[in-house]
Amino acid sequence: MSDEVKFDWHRQDRTGIPEVVFAEGKTVGQIVSILDGAAERNRSLLITRLSPELCHVVRQQVEAGFDYDEMSRTAIFGAPERSSADPAQIGSVGIVCAGSSDLAVAREAQRSLDYFGVHNALHADVGVAGLWRLLDIADDLKQHSVLIAVAGMEGALFSVVAGLVPGLVIAVPTSVGYGVATGGQAALTSALASCAPGIVCVNIDNGFGAAAAARKVLLNGAIG
Distance of CA 76 to the CA centre of its chain: 13
Residue 35 CB, nearest approach to a copy of itself (Å): 14
Q: At what angle do helices 52-61 and 28-41 cross, to 10 degrees?
A: 50
Residue 68 or 116: which CB sits closer to a copy of itself?
116
With a CB cutoff of 8 Å and minimum separation 6, the contacts of 41 are 9
How many residues are given for the chain?
A: 224
Smallest separation, CB 133 to a copy of itself (Å): 5
Residue 189 CA: distances (Å) to CA of 118, 153, 171, 181, 194: 29, 11, 11, 10, 8
Q: Is the Cβ of residue 65 or residue 139 nearer to a copy of itself in the bound state?
A: 139
Nearest to 176 by CA among 158, 203, 147, 150: 150
Q: How far is the CB of 60 from a copy of itself (least distance, A)?
A: 21
CB of 206 to a copy of itself, least distance (A): 7
Between residues 65 and 222, which has the closer beta carbon with respect to a copy of itself? 222
Asked if residue 170 lies in contact with residue 146, where contact means CB atoms within 8 angstroms, the answer is: yes
Which residue number, 1 or 39, has a Cβ lying nearer to a copy of itself?
1
Question: Considering the complex, what minimum distance in angstroms separates the CB of residue 104 from a copy of itself?
Answer: 9
With respect to a copy of itself, which residue has the nearer C-beta, 52 or 221?
A: 221
Which residues sit opposite 97 in a β-bridge?
150
